[in-house]
A = this chain, B = another copy of it.
Amino acid sequence: MLPVRYTQGPHSMNDRVLRALRGEVVDRTPVWFMRQAGRYLPEYQKVRSRVGFLELCNDSGLACEVTCQPVDRFALDAAIVFSDILVVLEAIGRTVEFEGGQGPRVPEPVRSASDVASLVRPDVAEALPVAPETIRLFRKVRPDTPILGFAGAPFTLLCYLVDGGSSRHWLHTKQMIYSAPDLAGRLLDLLADVVGDYLQLQIDAGAAAVQLFDTWAGVLAPADYLRWALPSVQRALARVKRAPRIYYTRDCAAFLDWLPETGADAIGLDWRVEIGEARRRLGTIPVQGNLDPVALFAPPAEIRRRVRAILDAAGSTGHVFNLGHGVLPGTPIEGVEAMIDEVRRFRI
């Protein structure tokens, strides 16, 4: 299947996000936000009252339904396919459990050479069909709105694979890079190749752009980021063609100057960096971000003030407005509405 071009067809697709990701002039700054299809939305909660999280991730029809929800409610400038970063771990041979509310668990973590030997290098089209199919469905039902694909970055996936679930200190993952660097390197290479192919698969299915989420790279000391996280991102992104690639890391402040070296087309910023300062240090590369998700709990006037400050500092081109991390469960809808409305009103 050829990549879908946003200018094709009877409907003209909203191209603000793509133009901003290419640094081109836009009529206004585009806006979407991380986890926009999620628990803060009553219509999502309604779907989840019928089906579990994994069932939702594994059913492209249901996934497409919840992918559409925030786009329909807020008329956002992009959708992001509903899925989870950990599906890649299942594709290489590890079960992931989402029960409980303690965060995801990998009951058989990978820590030894024989654990690594038990993993498989999958055919991604065969092993990871749901997100591409969801993207194809979305393209049919919402042809006016671009949809983003995504994947977890290799180091972040390594964290879950080795520690076996969310962790405060990621002791097992760090012990592996200290004590068994060859093993860690082999795992990161495998993850980078699968992640890269998976992003390409989503682009081939019609994703207008893709985002790599490096949620946990920020736990690394800078020398470790340079040795482990950065090369694995480069390796993954080098496999991805024909659509803009966004690289997001939480806690990006420590690594800001190195982020253009990832090879990404745009950098997703978390909220703990001043976006104007980030743009000065990053050079010409477009950026995405970066309102503190907790700010959506503020009074609407305060939300609007903060949105304007970000838009002012970011400038009129090369900026996609977003949160600095995923929207939180319990976020008031009025807060989300105030944020989006202020982005739409703003003219720099």
Contacts and interface: CB of A to CB of B under 8 A. Distances in A.
Interface stretch (A57-65, A66-74, A172-180, A187-195): A172-180
Contacts of A116: none
Given A253-B253, A253-B254, A292-B221, A302 B178 contact: yes
B297 A175 contact: yes
A274 B179 contact: no
Contacts of A272: 218-222, 251, 254
Nearest to A273: B254
A271 interface: yes
Contacts of A178: 295, 297-299, 302
In which size bucket is the chain A interface? Answer: 20 to 34
Interface in A230-256: 251, 253-254
Interface string A320-333: 00001000100000
B223 A179 contact: no
Between A170, A221, A251, A272, the greatest number of chain B beta carbons within 10 A of the residue's beta carbon is seen for A221
A274 B222 contact: yes
A220 B277 CA distance: 16
A294 interface: yes
Given A175-B298, A297-B178, A298-B175, A309 B223 contact: yes
20 contacts: A169-B293, A169-B328, A171-B294, A174-B292, A178-B298, A179-B298, A179-B299, A179-B302, A220-B272, A221-B271, A221-B272, A221-B274, A221-B292, A222-B277, A223-B274, A223-B309, A251-B253, A251-B272, A253-B253, A254-B272
